[in-house]
Amino acid sequence: MRSLGARTMVNFAVLVLPLIAGLFLGYLLRQRKKLNLAKVTLGTILILIFALGFTIGSNNELLDSMSSVGLSALLMASLAIGFSVLLVALIRKRVKI
């Protein structure tokens, strides 16, 4: 098994350290008044979606392959949703909910 490169470890740390810091801070402040971060979260998600769209729109190679990628993505999403619904139905029947 290959060892992770230094760059991969830095990328991993950039993603995981803020998560751990948020968990730790949330744990320490859990008894205080709850902050309503819904608007901040929505704004951040909208910025991320915009950035993703901008990145896709500026990549000619990706745009050229969008039809085949889109079809594969539609198939995978449909199968995931279908099997999720089927599994929930089977579990509900088994547990009798």
pLDDT of residue 13: 87
Half-sphere exposure of 67 (CA within 13 A, CB side): 1
Q: Is residue 1 domain-resident?
A: no
Are the CB atoms for 56 and 63 separated by under 8 Å?
yes
Q: Is residue 71 domain-resident?
A: yes
Tens of pLDDT, residues 43-66: 999 999 999 999 988 998 888 888
Q: Is residue 21 domain-resident?
A: yes
Q: Is residue 32 domain-resident?
A: yes
Across residues 65-91, what is the average pLDDT? 91
Question: Which range among 37-41, 73-77, 83-87 has the greatest average pLDDT?
Answer: 83-87
Check: pTM over 0.75? Answer yes or no.
no
Q: Is residue 22 domain-resident?
A: yes
Are the CB atoms for 63 and 57 separated by under 8 Å?
yes
The domain in which residue 83 lies consists of: 6-95
Are the CB atoms for 27 and 19 separated by under 8 Å?
no
Number of compact structural domains in the chain: 1
At 2, the pLDDT band (50, 70, 90 cuts) reads low
